Structure 1
Amino acid sequence: MQVKDFSVSGEEFQLIKNKELGYLETTPQPSLKKLSKYYESEDYISHTNSKRNLFEKAYHFIRDISLKRKLKLINSFNSEEKKILDIGCGTGSFLKIAKDNNWNVVGIEPNEKARSIAIENCGNSIFDTNKIEELKDGSFDVITLWHVLEHLPNLDRQIASLKRLLKANGTLIIAVPNFKSFDAKYYKEFWAAYDVPRHLWHFSKESIIKLFSTKKMIVVKSLPMVFDAYYVSLLSEKYRNTFLRIIPAFFIGLVSNLKAKQSGEYSSLIYVIKNSKN
């Protein structure tokens, strides 16, 4: 499939399937030096706290509800130190609520603007990506990546690093879009969650299970992110029609969620992954 970068460059990219593991790869992938330019937009919402338009207001409304659910999820794990690492923490909204609930927080955020806001929210435990290599093995009870894994180059090395940083009985939580959802199939090349080339990889449930099994990590549970179907459909309608179509977007989001109740193929999914002692 050929997909366009609708939000920044207008360039087109191919989605190529990895035959062994089943995920899709954005091709060609920009070099690390060039990749940052695709994030140079005031519209990149996770790097700002602004609420200038409908999309930003919807994003922050959904985010505030999701934060409470994320906190409930991490609080369900038995962890003595309650030490958590959030990779791609953005402006630190999740780590702030975790810290306020007695978690020892560390965040990684490559974007300087977002990182400075996160430091204001959470203190000096927010670092650039080069800090990851300095963190000690087996340091964290929980590691989270909320819509981040799809942005990271070199999947194999990234997953190996996550396994290294987790405690032997630690928990990895990853949220990613699902290209096998109804809204993805409906919008096809206009599906906003492809978000090329910022999203380097595109996952399904099957591909996540296979990918992490290569590092002897087990997906023990998947949870739906029901709001994503509505938000992604709203943005997809804009890409397809160049103007807002709120009612059709709501309808497609609703249908996607209803179908996913049977299939499990929600627009986005949270995966709870356990480390292996081996």
Structure 2
Amino acid sequence: MSQILFHKCKICNANKHILYLASIDFDTSKKIYFLYKCYNCNIVFIYPYPSDKVLAKHYDDNYYGSDTSKFIFPIERFIQFLNNNKASIINKYIKLFHSISENKNLNILDIGCGRAQTLSKLSKLGYNCFSLERTEYQGIQTSSITCYKQNNLNSLPFADNYLHAVIIWHVLEHLKNPTNIISEIARVLNSDGILILSVPNISSLQYSIFKKNWFHLDVPRHLFHFNFNSLIPMLKKNKFEIIRLTTCSFEQNLFGFIQSSMNAILLFLPKNAFYNLLKASSKNFLDYLKLFLWVIISLLIIPFALFELTISKILKKGAVITIYAKQPKKF
């Protein structure tokens, strides 16, 4: 494989990139994928890009879970708590910039929302909620959310200035044209419209430690890997003003470190084995025994994970980048 790639960057249009990493698909094919880093904007991306047919195989029922659960009960409850908390934070930021007293006048879109747990909470707060998911996904079953399904995100199915908030939570890295979708989000957002965005941080301390064993690489589903240098200019180009930025996510950092450590140290075991056992598929006695042993191992790793979380917070090199940004006045 060539160390230098001459190919037009989808973020900045530069043409020269360097081989960054060779990483294996942990889940489906065990195929090796090559990641390149743009000399100009620092975006890291898969090349060659997987075909739509290959990608569709990676968005199956095992990836999404059922319409009611993806993980075992305690994990599901914790995720629901996190999503409710996220909805409360989103509600707070929307209220900072929109003085409409009744939330029913405000429109929110969640791109790649999965089971729409955050949207469900926002719907209960009175917002008009819209979801956008891949056509393969059949999990959203609620009359309180208007659902759209399309795999091509070259355009969003909304008029200019229609939405007051757009959530794209750990989704941008899955898309073939991230610059295009950011431009589309800017188009459909109203004056002072809020963008809530989160992606894995390829410049994180965790990636520096674990490289190809890093849990958040998730090739080939993650087509792009962002850092500040590749993400923020794309937002500013579309007139977004950053109002909150953090690289610290307790749950993403903690579990990312635990599973990445297991991937790196327990070389004789399948990658992401602990994560896969936490999923809500039917389990026999042996599965529960394995899960118990994995939990014991994870408890031994947690002190190191908390130390890494603390250092990452100080250095601003956490496992994920989360941004709240807003559009300017448009009229």
Q: Secondary structure at the match of 1:117?
A: coil
- Give how far 1:122 is off: 4.8
Give the Å deviation of 1:48: 5.4
Identical pairs, percent: 25
How far 1:33 sits from its partner (Å)? 3.4
2:136 paired residue number: 112
**Partner in structure 2 of residue 4 of structure 1:** 24
Q: In structure 2, the residue corresponding to 1:91 is in which secondary structure? A: coil
Task: Answer yes or no: is 1:205 the counterpart of 2:228.
Answer: yes
Counterpart-to-counterpart distance in 2, 1:124 and 1:73? 20
The 5 A counterparts of 1:1-278 are 1-40=21-60, 42=62, 44-45=63-64, 49-50=68-69, 57-58=74-75, 60-76=76-92, 77-78=94-95, 79=98, 80=100, 81-113=105-137, 116-118=138-140, 120-123=141-144, 125-129=146-150, 133-223=156-246, 224-240=248-264, 241=266, 242=269, 244=294, 245-277=297-329
For the residues of structure 2 that align with 1:156 and 1:46, how far apart are their CA atoms? 29
- Secondary structure at the counterpart of residue 86 of structure 2: helix
Unaligned runs of 5+ in 1: none
Paired residue type of 1:98 = L
Please tell me whether the aligned partners of residues 245 and 324 of structure 2 are also in contact (alpha carbons under 8 angstroms): yes
Instruction: Compare 227-236 and 143-152 and name the one that shifted more.
Output: 227-236
- Gap regions ≥5 residues in structure 2: 1-20, 274-293
1:215 deviates by 2.2
TM-score calculated relative to the size of structure 2: 0.74
Does structure 1 conserve the Cα–Cα contact (< 8 Å) formed by 2:33 and 2:219? yes
> Bigger shift: 149-158 or 223-232?
223-232
More helix by share: 1
Report the Cα offset of residue 117 of structure 1.
Answer: 2.6
Q: Distance in 2 between matches of 1:272 and 1:47?
A: 30
Counterparts of 1:52 and 1:170 in 2: how far apart (Å)?
33
Show CA shifts across 1:91-141 (max 9, x none): 11111111011111000011534xx332x2354501102695431111111
**Contact 2:160–2:188 (Cα < 8 Å) also in 1:** yes
SS of match in other structure, 1:175: strand
Distance in 2, matches of 1:156 and 1:34, equals: 23
Return closer, same or farther for 1:143/1:248 CA change in 2, 3 Å cut-off.
same
- Aligned pair count reads 271
Specify the SS of the correspondent of 1:134.
coil
Q: Given that residues 230 and 252 in structure 1 are in contact (C-alpha distance below 8 angstroms), is that contact kept between their aligned partners in structure 2?
A: no
